[in-house]
Each structure stands twice: as structure tokens, then as C-alpha cells.
Amino acid sequence: MLVTVTVQVAEDTCPHDQDDIMFLECAESAGADYLVTGNRRHYPDEWKNTKIVTAREFMDIIINAKSGDPTEEIS
């Protein structure tokens, strides 16, 4: 999927690493449900409608969705 970034995120959103801002901008522009990263500490828990998760957390979400667990679904 190609995404045209249409939003701009404030620099203080990711104070530890300014390079991470582009991923939030991309996620928001794409309307992403999840942003998967190995660098969780540099991001807020959520950004707008996007949950920020590790690869392990995302795998758990997928497994739970496939098993019919209604607490975690993928759209």
C-alpha cells in the first residue's frame, strides 16, 4: 500500500527520537489500526486511532482474533 502523508505531527510528540515522527504521520494518513515497532518507548501508547504495539503484541492480537476472542479484533 502506498500512502501519501497528509498530516504533520508536532515534534514534541516523540521527544526521544524525532525520526519516529514520520511513522506516526504515515499511520495517521493511512488510517492504520496498528503501528508495529520494536521501539515502543519512543511512542505514546496510542496515536489518534492507531494503537502502538510490539511485534509480539500484534501476533497475540492476530491469534486472539483468529480464535474468536472478542476482546481483540483486527479490522
How many residues would you count in the chain? 75
User: What's the chain look like in SS3?
Assistant: CCCCCCCCCCHHHCCCCHHHHHHHHHHHHHCCCEEECCCHHHCCCEECCEEEECHHHHHHHHHHHHCCCCCCCCC
Max CA pair span of the chain: 39
Give the pLDDT confidence score for residue 30 in this predicted structure.
92
pLDDT in tens, the chain (75 residues): 777 888 888 877 776 778 888 899 999 999 999 999 998 888 888 888 999 999 999 999 999 888 776 555 554
Give the pLDDT confidence score for residue 37 in this predicted structure.
93
Contacts 24+ apart (CB under 8 A), 20-28: 24/50
